[in-house]
Amino acid sequence: MKGRYLSLAASGAALCLTAVTLTGCGAIGGLTGDNEVTLRVVAADYGDNPQNSSEAYWKDLAAGFEKANPGTKVEVSVYSWSEVDAKVAEMVKAGKAPDIAQIGAYSDYAAAGKLYSAEELLSVKTEADFLGPLADAGKVKQVQYGMPFVSSTRLLFYNEKLLADAGVIGKDAKGWQPKSWADLEAAAKKLKAANVPTPFAVPLGREEAQAETMMWMLAGGGGYTDNEESYAIDSAPNVKALEFLRDKMVGQGLTGPVEPGKLDRQVAFDGFTKGEVGMLNGHPTLLKQAAAKGVKFGMVPLPTSDGSDQPAMGVADWVMAFKNGHRQQSGKFLDFLYQPKNVTAFTEKYDLLPATTSGYQAKQAATGGSSVQLKPFLAALPSSRLYPVGKKSWAGVSEDIKQNIGKTVQPGGQPAKVLEQIATAARASDPR
């Protein structure tokens, strides 16, 4: 969910695997002896440590597919979210695009004519099972090229004990309901006075700066695009959102010892599970991580600047198939990937939201375990706002945000100037 919607990354090195033997990552998918086809797949790692890396899921998936489809081998390379998009871009530039990629953006490759459409790949049943808003977000000029893999929405997590100890809530109180940014500022000040190392974590590092930024923009009444879906990155509400972070949060020492531009999301999550972070924006994967460490936490929508209702941010991560001459084999593999049992296996492992109707209905019906905690995330999904992933320029704009947005909240930072620079480049790359 480059939003990701969604995405926890811990491993820095690629994990290259097949269901049978390990092979070199640099091999090009093609025919291997006796007309056997090898599909090369690149995927993102959603694990937060080597023990729960996504490698195991893809290894099992590849083994199951190979057993059901003799003559087709599947070679998967799993990269951390901090590098997977760049790795695929390098492969494409070198003329060695993978057959299938599960990454954060698809539209630039679709616009360049490098991808098969969903209709060319999937069975009617699989194609029809995608949640409508996510399927629509996967379209370029009304043709779907991006297939949603998993989705998520975001909520504000808070450590109940830390807030109680700081006097923000009563010792036995639950259900804290901050309404505005002023409430967050007041709570963060109390946490600081109680010597909490990081009252409010604001991860604007490379891992997912574009998501953290969008959450604050939406909560301030802005967003990356306007109602006409034109870029509005430098709008007045967006400038004010970053000025709030610069002046009220960073400027008052409420965001901890690491400056936001150098703080990655997983590091912030780790701080929360260690009891060192009072509040932060998080997605469903934080549920399991916090529970595993015994952290008692609450979740609420991120308050808006003035207490008015604003949409939450939704994220989807994407699957795409490159035109490498293996359309039939890639389509079969994708139909297998989207079988309900395989969708459920992945979303359950990482506490993510499904991208399919069948998976969504199953999650809604669930009443036990972490599924209960997933209900507020599910409730926010239908009306959430996603990245402008249908724009071919989005991948470049997202990278620009990752590289530069942290500067806006530094002491003396200039949000208006930086956002204007990002917006000018975005509009130039996306003429309407």
pLDDT, tens digit, for every residue of 367-411? 454 567 888 888 887 778 889 888 888 888 999 999 999 999 999
Q: Encoding tokens for residue 275?
A: 């009891």
Q: Which pLDDT belongs to residue 18?
A: 41
Which run of H or E residues covers position 198?
strand 198-200
The class that CATH gives domain 15-153+315-380 is: alpha beta
Higher pLDDT, 362 or 134: 134
User: Average pLDDT, whole number, for the chain?
Assistant: 88
The class that CATH gives domain 155-311 is: alpha beta
Q: Looking at mean pLDDT, say which of 126-140, 170-184, 288-302, 406-420 comes out highest.
A: 406-420
Q: Encoding tokens for residue 146?
A: 């991006």
Question: pTM for the whole thing?
Answer: 0.75
User: In a 3-state reduction of DSSP, which class is residue 320?
Assistant: strand
Q: What percentage of the chain reaches a pLDDT higher than 70?
A: 89
Which band of pLDDT confidence, cut at 50, 70 and 90, is reported for residue 350?
confident
- What residues form DSSP beta bridges with 184? none
Residues 212-264: tens digit of each pLDDT: 999 999 999 999 999 878 999 999 999 999 999 999 999 999 999 999 999 99
Nearest to 75 by CA among 44, 99, 111: 99
Residues 142-183: tens digit of each pLDDT: 999 999 999 888 999 999 999 999 999 987 766 799 999 999
φ/ψ of residue 52, rounded to 5 = -115, 30
State mean pLDDT over 105-116.
Answer: 93
Q: Encoding tokens for residue 157?
A: 């997590």
Asked if the model's pLDDT at residue 11 lies above 60, the reply is no
- CA dist 47 to 6, 50, 72, 152, Å? 11, 7, 27, 15
Asked if the model's pLDDT at residue 9 lies above 70, the reply is no
Q: Which pLDDT belongs to residue 366?
A: 60
Range(s) of the chain covered by CATH 3.40.190.10: 15-153+315-380, 155-311
User: Per-residue DSSP letters for 85-130?
Assistant: HHHHHHHHHTT---SEEEES--HHHHHTT-B--HHHHS-HHHHHTB
Q: Which pLDDT belongs to residue 26?
A: 39
Which band of pLDDT confidence, cut at 50, 70 and 90, is reported for residue 13?
very low
The vertex-105 CA angle with 396 and 214, nearest 5°, equals: 70
Asked if the model's pLDDT at residue 270 lies above 50, the reply is yes
